[in-house]
Amino acid sequence: MGNGLAERLEKIEKRLHRAAERSGRRRSDITLLAVTKGFPAEQICRAYGLGIRDFGENYVQEFEGKQAAVAGLAGARFHFIGHLQSNKAARAAALFDVIQTIDSPKLARRLNAVGKLLEVMIEVKLSAEAAKSGVDPEALEELAAQVRQCPQLRLTGLMTMPPWNPDPEASRPYFRRLRQLAERIGVTGLSMGMSHDFEVAVEEGASCVRIGTALFGERPQGKRGEAAEG
């Protein structure tokens, strides 16, 4: 891995700044979440060394293998962004600071029962693709109400992943929709935008962009953008 991480980060930062500027926003209002699934713990440490503090992982078991190596990174925050089965809720709660992918009342209850204060987001499914996880928009208000009844969970926003399309403009309607839904339930956090469409996401109000390949290059294990089973 000849790296080039610093150069790639610099390019992403420039693009983030520009996207924020043209939409009248501040770069500091947007969290750059470095998605490290498929990469070893050393990559997390390198990114940390360059100033990144937020990291996204998709698989409970994979991150269990890295956790010891990154436990000493003061101020680092680890976000779970994969699909979380409720039988893994306790393990995920122990490992992560933020769970971005709550999609059922059962999962919320299980996470709450762990007894650790957690920041959470609700994943919303905005396309009909059967494989995608997330709650249907029609069920969002009810789920948000249930999450808010959980004393250990602090609901800060919504997360989504539009159907894959290389054209970033294809994601815009989904991002816009997520923002409208967030306004409806009264949250401000919007986790949306990946390597190929993060600038559009920033224009549409993203508070967190989740970037993997643009930062680290192709994932060694060939894991695509799927929010696969945790």
Ligand X SMILES: *Cc1c(COP(=O)(O)O)cnc(C)c1O
Q: Which CB atom, from 1 or from 145, has the smaller least distance to ligand X?
A: 1
| Residue 17 C-beta: closest distance to ligand X, Å | 18
What is the Cα Rg of the chain in Å? 16
Between 57 and 203, CB nearer to ligand X: 57
Q: Which of 15, 195, 217, 229 binds ligand X (CB under 6 A)?
A: 195
Contacting ligand X (CB under 6 A), which of 157, 168, 205, 212? 212
Binding to ligand X in span 56-115, by CB under 6 A: 58, 81
Return the sign of the alpha-carbon dihedral for residues 70, 71, 76, 80.
positive
Q: For ligand X, give the closer residue by CB, 48 or 80.
A: 80
Report which of 141, 140, 99 is spatially closest to residue 117, judged by C-alpha positions: 99
Among 35, 47, 120, 202, the residue binding ligand X under the rule CB under 6 A is: 35
Residue 9 makes contact with ligand X by CB under 6 A = no
| Cβ atoms 134, 168 nearer than 8 A | no
Q: Which residues pair with 66 in a beta bridge?
A: none
- Which two tokens mark 27? 């770069």
H or E element at residue 153: strand 153-159
How many Å apart are CA 213 and CA 37, to the nearest integer?
10
At position 102, the amino acid (one-letter code) is: I
- Encoded one letter per residue, x for contact with ligand X by CB under 6 A and - for no contact, window 141-170 reads --------------------x---------
Interaction between residue 37 and ligand X (CB under 6 A) = yes
Q: What residues does 155 pair with on adjacent strands?
A: 120
Residue 194 interacts with ligand X (CB under 6 A)?
yes
Catalog residues that contact ligand X under the rule CB under 6 A.
Answer: 35, 37, 58, 81, 161, 194-195, 210-214, 225, 227
